[in-house]
């Protein structure tokens, strides 16, 4: 019986494991090894690690964990999880091996469901990008475009003017919000309204956006975020409350609506924020908080102490038992 089983060994899961290992909690991390930012050349915006490759960041994090004997990290995909009659969480790996933990911490991340544009997928993470905080600095002075016509796309196009004067918005033939075309024109953002036919590039480098009609638009980078979907399907199996965006609702301490189940990283956020703060350092911070909350919960159980953390919305909504 482990004290805590962590599913997912990205920044969130490994940070939680560090907190729990330092608390001498018997901890198992099971990780399938497909981090969200794996296609990217570097992790940016992470204090002390800016520019590190995603693989190197994980290697260093795992090396840190080696100092803590109560932590075990395995490369394994988790296929199923359920509550046992004794109240433990039984985690079953894809190969069939089952392990029980007193608490469960989900840190399974998200998958980006990319726009269905031919030629886009091979460029993802290198010259098709999603986040100005991860990649904006790197496109300084380059020819960039944003794909989409919603208020967020208009906002992102204007935001990118902080990095480069050559910004275009490819609406994909969708209508722009009222009045936004004038705002974009006033600030020199070109608007292309034809449907996008495909992206053309060399290797991982975007060269041009081709439209169904009109001239191709030479570009060095395209910002085209996808829809985020939780990667494992495990929260639904456990009955965790989900937010309207399909991600897992947690409270300030990483507690889900299911007692004893915590969640951290891109897959989880509070109802008061419209989306996860999807950054490596934020995922690590959320893992640290959730790990400490799980440790405190075990302490309360073992010594019959009241839980030091007040119940908040997600926890209060928890079913009894
Ligand atoms: C292209 C791209 C570039 C990015 N660049 C940056 C950047 O420069 N800076 C930045 O701060 N953020 C960046 N991000 C965001 C960053 O990737 C995420 O915020 C971060 O990875 C979240 O960490 P996490 O631990 O929540 O999830 P992840 O890093 O995705 O890790 C989740 C882990 O859970 C595992 N897992 C999932 N399901 C199972 C299962 N059933 N069983 C076992 N294991 C499972 C996965 O294999 C994975 O290893 C980028 C994102 C993308 C898409």
Cβ of residue 39 lying under 6 Å from some atom of ligand 1: yes
Q: Is the pLDDT of residue 143 over 90?
A: yes
Q: How far apart are CA 283 and CA 10, in angstroms?
A: 8
Closest CA to 196 of 163, 220, 224: 224
Q: Is the pLDDT of residue 128 over 70?
A: yes
Dump pLDDT digits (tens) for 163-205.
Answer: 999 999 999 989 998 899 999 999 999 999 999 999 999 999 9
Q: Is the pLDDT of residue 314 over 90?
A: no
Domain 115-223: which CATH class?
alpha beta
The rounded Å distance from CA 265 to ligand 1 centre is 8
Q: What is the pLDDT of residue 312?
A: 61
Residue showing tokens 């204007």: 158
Q: How far is CA 164 from CA 148, 189, 192, 220, in A?
A: 19, 11, 18, 12
The rounded Å distance from CA 10 to ligand 1 centre is 6
Dump pLDDT digits (tens) for 84-101.
Answer: 999 999 999 999 999 999
Cβ of residue 128 lying under 6 Å from some atom of ligand 1: no
pTM: 0.96
CATH code of domain 2-112+227-316: 3.50.50.60
Examine domains 2-112+227-316 and 115-223 and report if their fold is the same.
yes
In the chain, where the domains are located? 2-112+227-316, 115-223
């Amino acid at each position: 019986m482990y004290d805590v089983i962590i599913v997912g060994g990205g920044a969130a899961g490994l940070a939680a494991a560090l907190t729990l290992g330092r608390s001498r909690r018997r901890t198992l991390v099971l990780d399938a090894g497909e981090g969200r930012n794996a296609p990217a050349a570097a992790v940016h915006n992470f204090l002390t690690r800016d520019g590190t490759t995603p693989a190197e960041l994980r290697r260093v994090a795992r090396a840190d964990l080696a100092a803590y004997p109560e932590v075990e990290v395995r490369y394994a995909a988790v296929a199923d999880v359920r509550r046992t009659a004794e109240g433990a969480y039984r985690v079953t790996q894809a190969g069939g091996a089952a392990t029980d933990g007193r608490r469960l911490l989900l840190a399974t991340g998200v998958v980006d469901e990319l726009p269905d544009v031919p030629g886009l997928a091979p460029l993802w993470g290198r010259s098709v990008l999603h986040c100005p905080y991860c990649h904006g600095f790197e496109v300084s002075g380059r020819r960039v475009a944003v794909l989409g016509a919603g208020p967020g796309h208009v906002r992102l196009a204007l935001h990118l003017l902080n990095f480069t004067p050559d910004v275009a918005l490819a609406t994909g033939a969708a209508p722009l919000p009222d009045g936004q075309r004038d705002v974009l024109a006033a600030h020199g953002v070109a608007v292309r309204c034809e449907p996008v036919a495909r992206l053309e590039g060399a290797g991982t480098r975007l060269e041009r956006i081709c439209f169904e009609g009109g001239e191709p638009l030479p570009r060095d980078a395209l910002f085209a975020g996808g829809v985020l979907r939780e990667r494992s399907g495990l929260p639904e199996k456990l009955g965790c409350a989900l937010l309207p965006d399909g991600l897992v609702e947690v409270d300030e301490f990483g507690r889900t609506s299911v007692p004893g189940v915590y969640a951290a990283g891109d897959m989880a956020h509070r109802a008061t924020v419209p989306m996860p703060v999807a950054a490596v350092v934020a995922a690590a911070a959320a893992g640290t908080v959730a790990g400490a909350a799980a440790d405190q919960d075990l302490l309360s159980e073992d010594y019959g102490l009241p839980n030091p953390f007040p119940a908040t919305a997600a926890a209060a909504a928890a079913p009894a038992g």
